[in-house]
Structure 1
Amino acid sequence: MCCSAVTLKRDFDVCSVCVGGGMHAVTERRITCTSKTCSDIGVCAVVWKVFTCTASDTWTIWVNEHGHMRGVLECEGPHKAVITAQMKKFILQQDECAVPPQLILSSMRRSSDILEPKRGYPTLSQVTNCAKYLRRL
């Protein structure tokens, strides 16, 4: 599920994940395929439903019977860089000092405290969106 996105999130009061059920919360997330290889061909119909029980930390994952538009080919193309917890902390510190996102990204690349991730550093838009998200928390 490397190229996927959460398209729906709902909370239910009655758990359907646990063996006995119960009156505690369960969260449903629907995850759809966003692979560039699939989207070049058409709209991919693959959907995963992930049910998470908050009481027992149990997951149930369902997938529909539709195949990927790309068939059995591997997902190609560059994957987005992931913003790690260490990067989030750095972005939050810089953003509190009113440093613009472009300078935050530049400083992050030059910082010796942050190791370069496997997928590389995030893009400017990822840093901007992360700063906006962290401001709201």
Structure 2
Amino acid sequence: MTGITRTRTCPPPMNDGGAVREVFDRISDKWSLLVVGALREGPLRFGELEKAITGISQRMLTLTLKHLVQDGLVSRTAYAEVPPRVEYEVTPLGKTLVPLVIALAEWAIEHRDEINANRRGALPPTGS
């Protein structure tokens, strides 16, 4: 192989001291991506988020928002009004996640029937 240089792109390391796992744990919990997806069009109040995300309890929404704010994916703005008003919005960092959330949601919708059929045992698992 004279004169040929091969470059190979490698996937990012998965054994990086837990950083990848930490981020995956946060964004792959049951509610985080749904909250980010609900906020993609603009800021919402707690009650609006609660209505937008079917099945989430007040406690889980509170915890999920707290974690997303801590991670810098969502911002929380409290207004000095009576009654108090708090809005949540995707941050610039969180906005980089939105296309991935949409792509994953589209993938889930596209493959939902096949996955459900596999769960029921109607189709052999892929790759066998």
Higher relative contact order, structure no. (Cα contacts within 8 Å, ≥ 6 residues apart): 2
Q: Where is the helix percentage greater, Structure 1 or Structure 2?
A: 2
Same fold (TM over 0.5): no
